[in-house]
Amino acid sequence: MHTTPLLADRVAVVTGAGGGIGAATARLFARHGAHVFIADIDAERSAQIADEITMSGGSAQLVVTDVRDTAQVAILARTVLDRFGRVDVLVNNVGHWLRHPGNFVDTDPQLWDELYRVNMHHVLLVTHAFLPTMIDQNAGSIVNVSSVEGLRGYPEDPVYAAFKAAVIHFTRSLAVQVGRDGVRVNAIGPDVTESLQVPYSQWLSDEEQRQWPQWVPVGRMGLPDDQARVILFLASDLSAFVTGHTIPTDGGTSAAGGWYRSSRPTGRAWTNRPVAP
């Protein structure tokens, strides 16, 4: 069946596109005709994604970038604009919970800063680098990848949750500010999705694997492609009248429940898994 490309000849930047949701998004964008810039800190892994796209007939270029670094983000923006003179889509996908910190009272400001830089600061930095061009061309779509933990209470790491919530509110507020400039800003809030940071296929016990139908309303684990399809929708003209929103791409988990105290001998005080708490 023929499918009309949704991003034909558009220039798209996807951060953290060396794996997981970012890689799935880069592949899907390329299949829909976009010229994709892969911005990732891991050169080897990202080069594999770029090669895979080009060998399949798509357009992809790798720019090795630490999006937490102002100078490197400036180089990324110059590289994109020097080649095409425009940017149509920006996906701020980078994010990480880094490590389970325990109770907030046991954490330290260094960890807070690390969480801020990898989950919130880069969203500001990269958006700031590309937004002026979008405003000048009176067109553009920005998609931020937050988390379901920015939409609900997350007792395992309130600091991470706070920064993910900040991404959502930045999305909402910036969308209102730049709407008349032709720029749309939206976000997604993933949950229970296989990724580099959350490899459920490796983490879950056989007992937990059998519980997906009880754990997630749609009955299965999420895959990177599930997230990429929603990002494509938000990036394309299909969502031309949508801005300022965060779509919970969670298989229904936020609608169905949340976190519960656990007495199981796992070393974890909280669980969101379908086993006896």
Instruction: Say how far apart CA 97 and CA 115 lie, in whole Å.
Output: 7
**Contact yes or no for 237/6 (Cβ under 8 A):** yes
Mean pLDDT throughout 174-183? Answer: 98
- Active-site residue (options: 116, 154, 160, 260): 160
More confident residue, 212 or 168: 168
Q: In 32-54, which positions are buried (b, 16+ CB within 10 angstroms) versus exposed (e)?
A: bbbbbbbbbbeeeebeebbeebe
Does residue 160 have an active-site annotation?
A: yes
pLDDT for residue 144: 98
Rounded to the nearest 10°, the torsion over CA 188, 189, 192, 193 is: 30
More confident residue, 26 or 1: 26
pLDDT for residue 10: 98
Mean pLDDT, the chain, rounded, equals 92
Instruction: Say how far apart CA 81 and CA 73 lie, in whole Å.
Output: 12
pLDDT for residue 263: 65
pLDDT, one tens digit per residue, over 31-85 is 999 999 999 999 999 999 999 999 999 999 999 999 999 999 999 999 999 999 9
Instruction: Say how far apart CA 101 and CA 92 lie, in whole Å.
Output: 24
User: What confidence category does residue 269 fall into, taking pLDDT thresholds of 50, 70 and 90?
Assistant: confident
Mean pLDDT throughout 95-106? Answer: 88
Mean pLDDT throughout 154-176? Answer: 96
Q: Of 164, 148, 149, 155, nearest to 103 (Cα)?
A: 155
Rounded to the nearest 10°, the torsion over CA 244, 249, 250, 254 is: 20
Instruction: Say how far apart CA 209 and CA 225 lie, in whole Å.
Output: 20
User: What confidence category does residue 205 fall into, taking pLDDT thresholds of 50, 70 and 90?
Assistant: confident
Instruction: Say how far apart CA 261 and CA 194 lie, in whole Å.
Output: 24
**What SS3 state is found at 236?**
coil
User: What confidence category does residue 200 fall into, taking pLDDT thresholds of 50, 70 and 90?
Assistant: confident
Q: What is the reported pTM?
A: 0.92
pLDDT, one tens digit per residue, over 1-17 is 457 899 999 999 999 99
Instruction: Say how far apart CA 134 and CA 94 lie, in whole Å.
Output: 21
Extract the tokens encoding 26.
């880069």
pLDDT, one tens digit per residue, over 116-153 is 999 999 999 999 999 999 999 999 999 999 999 999 98
pLDDT for residue 1: 44
Whose tokens are 């067109």? That residue is 139
End-to-end CA distance of the chain: 47
> What domains can be seen in the chain, in order of their start residue?
11-203+223-257 (3.40.50.720)
User: What confidence category does residue 164 fall into, taking pLDDT thresholds of 50, 70 and 90?
Assistant: very high
Q: Is the pLDDT of residue 260 over 70?
A: no
Mean pLDDT throughout 243-251? Answer: 97
